């Protein structure tokens, strides 16, 4: 096996599970995430020579994210659905995704499933910062570099995402509509 | 926003003290802090973590195997760096063998590991091998009375074995690894979605390492010494999480 492959296997492949989990939270349909992961792995391999970052994991996340958005645009173009407009993070409530509607989620589902669905109901911008911060434990700076946005945006999205998730959780589990903080 | 930054460990020590003082006085911010903590706990414990299914892993490996490795890859990458106006000069200076040599030197420089330490390399390799293959655990148990005797028969050391499930670190088993020219013991803990390997081997008496952190390829390694044993916790989880486990292990004798 040649040197490049060996380095790639040692440095990039260990992060494949994390990359896949991230892809699954970006593109909820498993088939889509599978394609995104394969494409991302290939792109990562091709770009590997030029890699000069120390944060391999964040670099791989950024590639997964680019592949996701490229695939999403292709799917949307194919199905003739117009692209959604770019939303501003400040306009939080308007960004709640239309499917699946949190109100229609079955109430009796167990906690994990409920949490999965509540997460799924959040807009992509919020799912990705939550996954990167809470599950992958990336710093603000690392997240900013993955999503290619200023740290201030990371912080405001994170705050909004957490508040929305918490608010929906309280509504769902405790049945009490409360002010989203 | 400041409470959130404090919660995420993104403020300096001075600000942290200020915020802590504020939290003592402000019930609203304490409530916010509690919410942040609950949300994190719920997400880390209950949110589905999707690992690559075996069929997909095979598909990705096949696709990578088909991918050619161009000999001149490094040369092509450098091309955009050339400024159009300087082209005659650069194309002369960087042409042919010259460019290849520079590219090779650059590649070598970029790939020099930040620290050449044989033990770190061995630990990383052992950890990655076990995570990537199915050889994660030789003895599957959360019961220290099962794991500890198993080590006695399979390794040269007898490390502290304890389950910290209630503190978020669930002991899921142990395995043996050949490390530092001996059969070392590895305890495998699960923390949220992450696996933590805790390696233990007999200290050789010369290299007193102390409490020592190393980051390698996004993985954290945390070394410490306890009695006459060397410990190293390795994981892709955060530094704080590793230190949490290290403190728990150090706390029992």
> Could you read off the pLDDT of B18-41 as tens digits, one per residue?
999 999 999 999 999 999 999 999
Residue span of the structural domain in which A28 resides: 3-78
Give the CATH number of domain B118-251: 3.30.200.100
First-to-last alpha carbon distance for chain B, in angstroms, is 41
- Cα-Cα-Cα-Cα dihedral of A18, A19, A20, A26, to 10°? 110
> Residue B21: its pLDDT value, please?
93
CB A15 within 8 A of CB A57: yes
Q: Spell out the domain ranges in chain B.
A: 2-46, 54-111, 118-251
Label residue A104 by pLDDT band (50, 70, 90).
very low
**ipTM, interface predicted TM-score of the complex:** 0.76
Label residue A69 by pLDDT band (50, 70, 90).
very high
Same structural domain for residues A107 and A160?
Answer: yes
User: Is B42 an interface residue toward A (CB < 8 Å)?
Assistant: yes
The residues of chain B scoring below 50 in pLDDT are: 72-96, 98-99, 102, 105-116
pLDDT beyond 50 at A31: yes
Same structural domain for residues A125 and A164?
Answer: yes
Residue B130 or residue A69, greater confidence: A69
Same structural domain for residues A110 and A138?
Answer: yes
For range A73-97, the mean pLDDT: 56
Q: Please report, for the domain that includes residue A39, its CATH number.
A: 1.10.1740.10
Same structural domain for residues A64 and A107?
Answer: no
> Residue A127: its pLDDT value, please?
95
* Mean pLDDT of the residues in chain A: 80
Highest mean pLDDT among A38-47, A105-114, B117-126: A38-47
> Residue A41: its pLDDT value, please?
94
Instruction: Give the C-alpha separation, A57 to A62, whole Å.
Output: 9
Cα–chain-centroid distance for residue B246? 14
User: Is A76 an interface residue toward B (CB < 8 Å)?
Assistant: no
Tell whether A43 is covered by a domain. Answer: yes
Q: What is the pTM of this model?
A: 0.54
Closest CB to A2 among B36, B51, B69: B69
How many domains, chain A? 2
Closest CB to A49 among B63, B73, B238: B73
Q: Which residues of A touch B242 (CB under 8 A)?
A: none
Q: Which are the contacts of A43, defined by CB distance < 8 A and separation ≥ 6?
A: A63, A66, A67
pLDDT beyond 80 at A50: no
């Amino acid at each position: 096996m040649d040197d490049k492959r060996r380095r790639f296997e040692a440095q990039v492949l260990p992060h494949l599970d994390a990359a896949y989990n991230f892809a699954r939270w970006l593109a909820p349909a498993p088939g889509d995430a599978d394609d995104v992961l394969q494409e991302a792995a290939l792109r990562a391999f091709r770009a590997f020579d030029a890699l000069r970052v120390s944060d391999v994991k964040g670099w791989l996340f950024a590639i997964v994210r680019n592949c996701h958005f490229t695939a999403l645009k292709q799917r949307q173009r194919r199905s003739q659905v117009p692209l959604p407009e770019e939303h501003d993070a400040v306009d939080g409530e308007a960004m709640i995704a239309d499917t699946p509607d949190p109100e229609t989620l079955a109430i009796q589902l167990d906690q994990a499933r409920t949490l999965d669905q509540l997460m799924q109901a959040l807009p992509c911008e919020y799912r990705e910062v939550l996954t990167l911060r809470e599950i992958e434990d990336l710093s603000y700076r690392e997240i900013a570099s993955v999503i290619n946005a200023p740290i201030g945006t990371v912080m405001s999205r994170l705050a909004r995402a957490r508040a929305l998730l918490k608010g929906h959780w309280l509504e769902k589990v405790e049945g009490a509509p409360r002010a989203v903080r | 926003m400041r409470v959130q930054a404090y919660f995420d460990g993104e403020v300096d020590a001075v600000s942290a003290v200020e915020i802590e003082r504020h939290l003592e006085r402000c019930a609203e911010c304490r409530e916010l802090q509690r919410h942040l903590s609950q949300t994190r706990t719920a997400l880390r414990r209950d949110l589905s973590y999707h690992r690559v299914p075996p069929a997909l892993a095979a598909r990705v490996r096949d696709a990578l195997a088909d991918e050619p490795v161009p000999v001149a890859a490094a040369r092509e990458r450098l091309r955009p760096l050339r400024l159009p106006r300087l082209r005659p000069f650069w194309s002369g200076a960087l042409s042919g063998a010259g460019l290849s040599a520079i590219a090779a030197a650059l590649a070598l420089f970029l790939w020099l590991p930040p620290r050449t330490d044989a033990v770190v390399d061995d630990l990383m390799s052992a950890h990655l091998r076990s995570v990537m293959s199915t050889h994660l655990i030789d003895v599957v148990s959360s019961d220290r009375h099962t794991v500890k005797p198993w080590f006695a028969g399979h390794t040269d050391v007898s490390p502290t074995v304890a389950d910290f499930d209630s503190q978020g670190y669930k002991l899921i088993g142990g395995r043996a690894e050949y490390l530092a020219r001996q059969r070392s013991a590895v305890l495998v803990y699960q923390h949220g979605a992450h696996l933590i390997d805790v390696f233990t081997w007999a200290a050789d008496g010369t290299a007193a390492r102390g409490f020592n952190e190393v980051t390698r390829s996004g993985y954290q390694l945390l070394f410490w010494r306890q009695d006459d044993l060397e410990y190293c916790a390795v994981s892709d989880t955060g530094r704080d999480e590793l230190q949490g486990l290290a403190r728990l292990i150090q706390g029992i004798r």
